[in-house]
Amino acid sequence: MVGFSLNTDILETNLINIAILIFGLVQFVGAALNDAMTERKQKIESSAVDSLFRLLDADLRYLEAVDNLEVTQSTIDKIQGELRVVKLKIIRTGTLRLYNELSTQVTTAELIIFLQKQKLLAQVKQQLLTLALKRAIFKVLVDLKPSQYAIAMETAIERIGEFKQLGGSR
């Protein structure tokens, strides 16, 4: 006869209950947890690969910058060496006219280099200003609510009108 009886062994029933609980968790939660962990692992691997590529790109740019620096330094050294040679020739010949002409040329070259540096600095400043302005406009567009944006546009239009009335148009 098969009957129902109560098992009074607490240790045995606890082990059976824990086994059933673990089995249930593995069956119902295990797949979702496994999927989430697999997705997280893929994201981490993707981020690691992306970081590695960025690091390699940065290393490549660094090496290019070092090469450019070496080329520039070599050119500067060559120019300075040539300048010393020219100065020695002028001193040896004792020709004041030739010395004055070359001094003028050196001064002109230095002035041209200085002006080129100033021009380059002005271009870089302009590009930085333009970039900063673009970023500021983008940030304003992103941060402003539509009502605030409309108010800002009306104020800007009024100021442009005032500027034109003062004779500021070109």
pLDDT in tens, 42-61: 999 999 999 999 999 999 99
Which pLDDT score is estimated for 170?
46
CA gap 41, 47 in Å, rounded: 10
CA gap 143, 38 in Å, rounded: 36
Tell me the two tokens of residue 115: 């002006």
| pLDDT digit string, tens, across residues 63-87 | 998 998 899 999 999 989 998 998 8
Tell me the two tokens of residue 13: 């029933």
For the chain, give the percent of residues with pLDDT over 70: 90
Global model pTM greater than 0.75? no
Work out the average pLDDT over 15-35. Answer: 83
| pLDDT digit string, tens, across residues 88-104 | 877 777 667 767 887 89
CA gap 131, 128 in Å, rounded: 5
Q: Token pair 């200085």 is at which residue?
A: 114
Which pLDDT score is estimated for 54?
92
Report CA torsion sign: 84, 89, 91, 95: negative
Mean pLDDT computed over every residue of the chain = 82
94 secondary structure, DSSP code: T
Which pLDDT score is estimated for 2?
61
Contact 72, 84 (CB under 8 A): no
Which pLDDT score is estimated for 7?
65
Task: Please tell me the total number of residues recorded for the chain in this structure.
Answer: 170
Question: At 40, which amino acid appears?
Answer: R
The domain segmentation of the chain, as residue ranges, is 11-72
